[in-house]
Amino acid sequence: MKNKLKQFRESLGLTQEQLGELVGVSRQAINSIETERYEPSIWLAYDIAKVFHSTIEEVFLFEESERKSRADQSRGVV
């Protein structure tokens, strides 16, 4: 999932570690989200957006990806 997390974080002058502390995850988790290796839960995405006084949709960009959605996977869609 594409995101603007790094831009939002840097605009507030926060480190990955500081943002992680604010939302209850590790610096490594924030790094993985920023580099699109990890997709946060909806609750974590909500908490992150709240830090920036933004909506989830402003921080996280829900675009079609090469990866199949979980719904497609459970239905066996190829």
Q: What total number of domains does the chain contain?
A: 1
Q: Would you state the pLDDT for residue 24?
A: 98
- Could you list the residue range(s) of the whole structural domain that residue 27 is in? 2-75
Q: Would you state the pLDDT for residue 72?
A: 64
Q: What is the pTM of this model?
A: 0.79
Q: Would you state the pLDDT for residue 69?
A: 58
**To 5 degrees, how large is the angle CA 23–CA 25–CA 29?**
120
- Residues 25 and 47: their CA atoms lie apart, in Å, by 11
Given a cut of 70, the residues of the chain with pLDDT beneath it are 64-74, 77-78
Could you tell me which of 71, 67, 42 has the C-alpha nearest to residue 56?
42
Domain CATH number, residue 33: 1.10.260.40
Q: Would you state the pLDDT for residue 1?
A: 85
Residues 1 and 62: beta-carbon distance below 8 Å: yes
Which tokens go with 76? 């066996």
